[in-house]
Structure 1
Amino acid sequence: MKNSVTLFLIIIGLSMVSCNNTKIEKNIKMYSDTWNHIVNDGNLDLINNTNFTEDITMIASPENVVGIENFKAYYQNFITGFSDIEFTVVDIFGQGDNIVKHWKFKGKHTGDFFGIPATEKSVDIEGVTIAKMKDGKIAQEQDFMDNTLFMQQLGLSPNPENATIINQLYTNFGEGNIEAVLGMMDPNIQWNESSCSSYSDGNPYSSPEAILNGVFGRIGQDNEYFKLENIELAGLGDNKVLASLNYDGKSKKTEQTYKTTVVHLWTLNNGKITAFQQYIGIGKQ
């Protein structure tokens, strides 16, 4: 009788291991096939609630990308920003609901990429993604790669002085020293608000005075408070600086608070700001 019980337990244990291995294999196949078609075929429609959970989350800084539509909008930048794409999975393995993927990405930068105009440069990079699955769907991702190498391959060699200037501009704005902010601008600056912004009706604002009246003044009139938070700067080549940050404010009209993720692309020449482009990400201004 004892031998029969032992044999039964062994059979049950082997069955559980077999089922677990089958689940991992199924998750890996679904995950690999989905990303192959999304990146190599440019099929962003596969970012849907069949393959991803409704609250799919990409761990990122300064703020996570959450939800199917925001996740799709993020990866749209890669599909439209690069041509001749080759995305290869070098190795992939899993344990439980966790998947680790070692990948390589090749492409030519021929389109807008997070506000960076086409450089016509080719990139060949690799990285690692840690993913979590839930009920057979992709629930969370976090990418690790050498961003410095990526920017170098794009031919975007940063000028540290430009990032210092933009950092000072944000400091001046935070202290309410708008006169100093305007003084950092070229007299013929070209300032463009995102098409999603209610202040885009004046695009392009072509002087510091126009920006004061059409943007800064209206921000003060429309909000009980308005702050810039979680500012991260990346110096780019061609005298450009890319900033990611949050707008944290409260509307006077609706009395609602809001937090919006935005990207600013600054262009400088001889220490003066000659152009600005705003891109609104998660949320609305």
Structure 2
Amino acid sequence: MKKSAILLALILFGISLSFAQNQTEKNIETYSRVWDEILNNGEIDQINNSSFDENVVIINSPENIKGIENFKNYYQNFLTGFSDINFDIINIFGQDDNIVKHWRFKGTHSGDFFGIPATGKNLDLEGVTLVKMKNGKILEEHDFMDNMEFMGQLGLISDAQNMKLIDSVYSAFSSGNVPGVLSQMDPEIQWNEAEGNKYAEDNPYVGPDAVMNGVFGRIMTEHEYFKLKDIELHEMSNNQILATLRYDAKWKNGQAYDAQAAHLWTLKDGKIVAFQQYVDTKKLAESEND
């Protein structure tokens, strides 16, 4: 009798476990299908009471978003703000009514997105969503992603790597590693020397070779030494870095000079795309002609 009771308990446990597994699989299938239709097919009306609980919630800051209509309005921003959307679920798994989704969202910011005008930038971002289901419907979502990366890709804040890149450029220049400096430049970089500087005659220098031949090569040929000192970097908006510094240099056929200067660097996708120099050109000219 005791053995029969144990056997019955095991059978019931197996049935319960199988039912739970089947329900989890159905939840994952429903969830994956719904979001494919909403984002990849642009079917915002799939956010309805057939697939979403009427009390659906997005865990959000500063306050949660509740209810189907508010949920729908929230995600309409993604369809309005981005074109060429490609939403991919990289991995998804669950237990009972809980689902974890690792996703990747790609698109072009071509429209208004939560009040942010189109930037034309491409977005390629990964994140994770914690999901709760109820009776086969989506009840709650909580997204986790790198918001700084999100804003940076749209060009709304500067890339955190910009400061490191420009710092490495000055380090390379100071050590005489000119090829290292050139390697950080975009092939179409536009380099401008300060107006009044003798090297400004062919502004803008387009491309690393033009910068090498028109600026760096001439500096090295015409100077006994040319050093940069007191360099301070200042992060700006729109992926720009401002450097304040001094030139400690001496012309081969002239005098030494110590001149205040500023450099405005513009970066994109990890490369320098523009440079603007500001310097006391009067001091440079007078020292060369003395």
TM-score range, shorter chain: 0.5 to 0.7
Once the two structures are TM-superposed, the CA of residue 149 in structure 1 deviates from its matched residue by 0.5
What's the RMSD between the two structures over aligned residues? Answer: 1.8
Structure 1: how far apart are the matches of 2:238 and 2:75?
23
Once the two structures are TM-superposed, the CA of residue 237 in structure 1 deviates from its matched residue by 4.7
CA contact (8 A) 1:151 1:236 kept: no
Give the gaps of 5 or more residues in structure 2.
Answer: 159-235, 240-290
CA contact (8 A) 1:54 1:67 kept: yes
In structure 2, the partner of 1:29 is: 29
Rate the CA distance shift 1:110–1:23 in 2: closer, same or farther, 3 A: same
CA contact (8 A) 1:27 1:133 kept: yes
In structure 2, the partner of 1:155 is: 155
Between 1 and 2, higher relative CO (CA 8 Å, sep ≥ 6) is seen in 1
In structure 1, the partner of 2:91 is: 91
In structure 1, the partner of 2:60 is: 60
Structure 2: how far apart are the matches of 1:20 and 1:31?
16
Q: Give aligned-pair identity as a percent.
A: 57
Rate the CA distance shift 1:237–1:57 in 2: closer, same or farther, 3 A: farther
Match of 1:40, as an amino acid?
A: N
Once the two structures are TM-superposed, the CA of residue 18 in structure 1 deviates from its matched residue by 0.4
In structure 2, the partner of 1:3 is: 3
Aligned with 1:120: secondary structure?
A: coil
In structure 2, the partner of 1:275 is: none
Structure 1: how far apart are the matches of 2:124 and 2:149?
9
Query: What TM-score do the two structures reach when normalised by structure 2?
Result: 0.54
Aligned with 1:20: secondary structure?
A: helix
Query: What TM-score do the two structures reach when normalised by structure 1?
Result: 0.55
CA contact (8 A) 1:81 1:112 kept: yes
Aligned with 1:27: secondary structure?
A: helix
User: Following superposition of structure 1 onto structure 2, how do residues 93-108 of structure 1 map, counting pairs within 5 Å?
Assistant: 93-108=93-108
Structure 2: how far apart are the matches of 1:96 and 1:145?
24
Q: Moved runs in structure 1, 4+ residues, more than 4 A?
A: 235-238
- Radius of gyration: which is bigger? 2
- Equivalenced residue count is 163
CA contact (8 A) 1:39 1:79 kept: yes
In structure 2, the partner of 1:138 is: 138
Once the two structures are TM-superposed, the CA of residue 116 in structure 1 deviates from its matched residue by 0.7
Match of 2:28, as an amino acid?
A: I
Rate the CA distance shift 1:5–1:236 in 2: closer, same or farther, 3 A: farther
Structure 2: how far apart are the matches of 1:99 and 1:6?
32
CA contact (8 A) 1:50 1:137 kept: yes
In structure 2, the partner of 1:115 is: 115
Match of 2:119, as an amino acid?
A: T
